Amino acid sequence: MNRQAQAAVLFLLGAALLHAGATDLYLRYVKAGLRPLLLASGAVLIAAALATAWYERRRHRRSGIHEHPEPRVAWLLLLPLLALILIAPPALGSYSALRSGTALQKPYAYGPLPAGDPVPLSVVDYASRAAYGHGRSLHGRPVRVTGFLALDRSGTAYLVRMALNCCAADAQPVKIALTGALPPVLRPDAWLEVTGTYTPRLTRDPVNNGPVPYLKVTSARPVPAPRDPYDETWNN
């Protein structure tokens, strides 16, 4: 592939990064905090592409060099870029969650509970307070948690959120086992807003033996998938 073609590929790659960063598409790949770096990278690639094209055009005019055409198969390298621009990959769901062990980690400390009745908590926050804090910080208050459903082979229902450290490639699940007033029909990967109370019941993840606390459900309702499907609170 000659320099002009390389410049074209650089330009398209930069445009793809800018497109992803300017929309919510980037949230399928990296955590929200990396958005400025993604946009800056796209701008740098486009600037490099334009500079390369300008330099090559000027060099050819001065020297009269005519390059031989490159094999057309080299342009197949553009297919991954077009896929990035045109196709939004789905967020990781129940298939990945059930094949990975829980990423729940013991926190250094617990912050105060948010205001509200029920208390809005993330999957990570409830799971850590229930598993490692033994529910003491919950003070018997009802909580509201949102996540997607996963069902294991025994039929146990889990409310899950995939936790990110950096990007989707290192995403790991945090799971809450559900008991109580569950919906009559449970569909894997469906997003639910669950209201319930702490229960001391605890199970172990069969993949890595990590703690999976239970939540006693009092009500549940389907909700749309959130703008950012991943949970970043576990490493903050």
pLDDT tens for each residue of 61-72: 666 555 555 556
Spatial CA neighbour of 132 closest among 22, 7, 28, 234:
234
Three-state SS for 203? strand
What integer pLDDT is reported at residue 202 of this predicted model? 94
What integer pLDDT is reported at residue 220 of this predicted model? 94
Average pLDDT over residues 119-138: 92
Average pLDDT over residues 222-231: 84
- CB burial readout 98-129, b (16+ within 10 A) else e: bebbbbbbebeeeeebeeeebbbbbbbbbbbb
Is the model's pLDDT at 118 over the cut of 80?
yes
Structure tokens at 15: 């445009």
Q: 139-170: per-residue pLDDT in tens? A: 889 999 999 999 998 889 999 998 877 666 67
CATH 2.40.50.140 in the chain, residues? 94-235
Torsion angle of alpha carbons 58, 62, 67, 72, nearest 10°?
Answer: 20
Cα–Cα distance, 91 to 224 (Å, whole number)? 13
What DSSP designation does 90 have? P
Q: How confident is the model at residue 42 (pLDDT cuts 50, 70, 90)?
A: confident
Q: How confident is the model at residue 236 (pLDDT cuts 50, 70, 90)?
A: very low
What DSSP designation does 65 have? -
CATH code for 94-235? 2.40.50.140
The proportion of the chain whose per-residue pLDDT surpasses 90, expressed as a percent, equals: 34
**Could you tell me the pTM of the whole model?**
0.71
Listed in sequence order, the DSSP H helices in 64-134 are 78-86, 94-98, 123-131
For residue 99, report the phi and psi dihedrals to the nearest 5 degrees.
-105, 5
